[in-house]
Amino acid sequence: MKQRICDDKSLLMAYLYGECDDAECRSVEEHVAACADCAAELDELRGVRVALREWAPPEQALGFRIVREADPAALAPSAGPPRDRRTAHWFLPRVPVRLPAWAQAAAAVLVLAAGAGIANLNVHIGNDGVTVRTGWQQAPVAQGQPPQVPAQAGAAPWRADLAALERRLRQDMPAATATPVTSPAPANAATDRARATSESTATMMRVQTLLDDRDRRLQRQFDRQLAEGMLRLARDVDSQRVADQRRFLQGLSQIDVRTTQLSQMQNYMLRAANVQEIK
Amino acid sequence: MTCTDEELVARSARGDADSFNQLITRWERPIYALAYRVIGHEEDARDVCQETFLRAFRGIAAFKGQAKFSSWLYRIALNLCRDWIRRERRTPVVQPPEGVDLTELASERGPAESVEDLVSRQDMSRLVARAMRSLSEEQRTAVVLKEYQGLTFQEIADLLGCPLSTVKTRLYQGLTLLRRQLEAAGIHSGVRAGDGGLTPVAAPRPSSDI
């Protein structure tokens, strides 16, 4: 048994995790009482287990929920062919893990504002999107125009969503409130109430979906505009760098000319001084 | 009244999404913890967790209860983790802990002060996470399933489709490697007083915080 425990660690592992029968436990305990190496190893492996307990996964807001789409057509009018009945739609957790859009916007503004101190930038974030303009340019040079196009393009689905939501709410609310009142039989009333509750839940799910879609769309729009702004900024910086380099070289050549002129002037004066001394 | 997994699975198979959501609530943290510890990236572990439940929901009708629901979930999650590792074409890596330099920690240690006293619980967590990076995928999976998910050797063998002895060997190799890594970081891996003596340390069962 001694040789077996020393060479084959299976029994030691089973003992370590409490998965051996009484006879095996006794044999291991007798062995480690006599074998210093195995006793030390067992001790160290227990220590590793103690250390492992300290490893906790990061806190994550999960809260996954699976929700079957009640009416795919209402959710995505142009989404193509109707989906399978069992198709599931995932709602993201209510507590976002990534930075929320406003925090990302604030961070972006902070970064751009810091850059503005160096690059003399004019950053404007408004209803018409993100506008980045450098102070080197005398005029906006139509920098504000490109962001407006996606902003307007992104605003249209917004309104369409809200209009669709309003329509659905107007359709669903009367059904949810009127049906139980008009039902004659109590059994039917209970059924209708259940149906109304179900419809109300479905409506809430659709509202949630629309809100999620809106958040995603806004996020995409903001990312796109930010990327465009950063691209323009990079182009401006590059063009300004080239212009500065050209001016610097021109300045250097002018200094060179001036230095030559000064040197010539110095030579003339020296010659004149020598002529006067000779005289 | 709390329903068993089997009851919720049966209802879910009949199309009851609420029952499946109860199963998600019950198992999302263990599945997330499993994915995080195997692949080591928070956001990707989150995606794996979400995809695990999505696949489980789609396949719940075909799940005949031949295994425990949790084992079935673990298998889906581990397959997704394996796919992730292959897709990323890299060794599963726990995100390198920030702000902890083992060499600095060791040099800061006073003559009578152990590193255990020096580092906080969170730092110890980071040290363990870093040590886990040295394990192979198989060793890491065995350690995670045994140590954190609390599965028996037989359950792990069934889950991974390998012999019982292989599971124990992988676990032993993993623990030994971890011991060396921790010792290199100045952590004494010998068990401390009051941590069990020579009695076997019972395996933890899944809990809400794993």
Which CATH number covers residue B40? 1.10.1740.10
Residue A218 predicted with pLDDT over 90? no
CA distances from B8 to B3, B32, B149, B159 (A): 7, 20, 21, 22
- Which pLDDT value is given to residue A85? 42
The per-residue pLDDT for range A51-76, each reduced to its tens digit, is 998 888 888 778 888 776 654 444 44
* Cα–Cα dist A266/B45, whole Å: 78
> Does the pLDDT value for residue B19 go beyond 60?
yes
Mean pLDDT score, B156-180: 94
- pLDDT level of residue A86 (50, 70, 90 thresholds): very low
The reply to whether A128 falls in a domain is yes
What number is the average pLDDT over the span B130-143? Answer: 91
Q: Is the residue at A268 inside a domain?
A: no
Residue of B nearest to A8 (CA): B169
Instruction: Quote the pLDDT of residue A153.
Output: 45
Beta carbons within 8 Å of A105's beta carbon, 6+ residues apart: A125, A222
- Is residue A132 classed as helix, strand or coil in its secondary structure? strand
Residue B207 has pLDDT above 90, yes or no: no
CATH number at residue B143: 1.10.10.10
Q: What is the mean pLDDT of the segment spanning B194-206?
A: 39
Domain that holds residue A207: 71-253
Give the other-Cβ count within 10 Å of B179's Cβ: 21
Return the pLDDT at A177. 42
Last residue of a domain, one of B64, B93, B122: B93
Q: Are A17 and B169 within 8 A, CB to CB?
A: no
Mean pLDDT computed over B44-65: 89
Looking at the fold, whether B101 and B153 belong to one and the same domain comes out as yes
Residues of B in contact with A15 (CB under 8 A): 200
In a domain, B15, yes or no: yes
Cβ-count burial of A69 within 10 angstroms (0-12 exposed, 13-18 middle, 19+ buried)?
buried
What pLDDT score does B125 carry? 83
pLDDT exceeds 70 at position B189: no
Q: Using CA atoms, how far apart are residues A211 and B59, in angstroms rounded to an integer? A: 29
Same domain, A48 and A77: no
pLDDT of A95 over the 50 cut: no
Vertex A13, ends A7 and A19: CA angle to 5°?
130
Question: For chain A, what is the domain count?
Answer: 2
Residues of B in contact with A43 (CB under 8 A): 190-191
Q: Which of A17, A46, A88 sits opposite B203 (nearest CB)?
A: A17
pLDDT given for residue A158 in this prediction: 56
My answer on whether A17 and A136 are in the same domain is no
The ipTM (two decimal places) reads 0.74
Residues B175 and B142 grouped into a single domain: yes
Q: Is residue A266 part of a domain?
A: no
- Does residue B173 belong to any structural domain of this protein? yes
| pLDDT at A227 (0 to 100) | 78
pLDDT band at B175 (very low <50, low <70, confident <90, very high): very high
Q: How far is A100 from chain B (nearest CA, A)?
A: 15
Residue A274 lies in a domain: no
Give the pLDDT confidence score for residue A84 in this predicted structure.
43
**Is B179 domain-assigned?**
yes
Same structural domain, B121 and B176: yes
Q: A76 and A162: one domain? A: yes
pLDDT of residue B81: 93
Is pLDDT of A104 > 50?
yes
Q: What is the model's pLDDT at position B96? A: 43
**In this predicted model, what pLDDT tens digit does every residue of A11-46 receive, in sequence order?**
999 999 999 899 999 999 999 999 999 999 999 999
- For B171, the closest chain A residue by CA position comes to A13
Look at B35 and B118; give whichever has higher pLDDT.
B35
Higher pLDDT, A49 or A113: A49
Residues A48 and A75 in one domain: no
Portion 103-162 of B in contact with A at CB < 8 A? 121, 124-125, 127-129, 132, 143, 146-148, 152-153
pLDDT at site B201: 38
Chain B, 49-68: which have a CB under 8 Å from a chain A CB?
Answer: 49-50, 53-54, 57-58
Q: Are residues A212 and A115 in the same domain?
A: yes
Are A133 and A81 in a shared domain? Answer: yes
Residue B35 pLDDT > 60, yes or no?
yes
B122 in a structural domain: yes
pLDDT band of B17, cuts 50, 70, 90: confident
Same domain for B170 and B123, yes or no, is: yes
Tell whether B184 is covered by a domain: yes
Query: Do B118 and B186 lie in a common domain?
Result: yes
- Tell me which of A9, A16, A17, A87 to substitute to probe the interface with B (most B C-beta atoms closer than 10 Å): A17
Going by the DSSP 8-state scheme, the letter that residue B1 receives in this structure is -
Query: Per-residue pLDDT averaged across A231-252, rounded?
Result: 82
Show residues of chain A in contact with B172, CB under 8 Å. Answer: 9-10, 12-13
Q: Are residues B111 and B186 in the same domain?
A: yes
A263 occurs within a structural domain = no
A147 in the same domain as A91? yes
In a domain, B210, yes or no: no
Rounded to an integer, the average pLDDT of A73-98 is 45
Statement to judge: residues B55 and B124 lie in one domain? no
CA of A3, closest CA in chain B: separation in Å? 17
Q: What is the pLDDT of residues B76-114, one digit of tens each?
A: 999 999 999 888 765 545 554 444 444 454 454 444 555
**Structural domain boundaries enclosing B112:** 96-193
Burial class (CB in 10 A: 0-12, 13-18, 19+), B156: buried
Pairwise CA distance, residues B190 & B179, whole Å:
9
Could you tell me if residue B207 is inside a domain?
Answer: no
Kindly report, residue by residue over A113-156, the tens digit of the pLDDT.
Answer: 555 554 555 555 555 555 555 554 444 444 444 444 444 444 45
Per the prediction, chain B carries an average pLDDT of 79
C-alpha distances (whole Å) from A96 to each of A102, A186, B46, B53 are 12, 44, 12, 19
Please tell me which residue, A128 or B50, carries the higher pLDDT value.
B50
The number of folded domains in chain B is 2
In a domain, residue B209? The reply is no
Identify which of B54, B124, B192 has the shortest CB distance to residue A88: B54
- Which pLDDT value is given to residue A201? 72
B107 and B89 belong to one structural domain: no
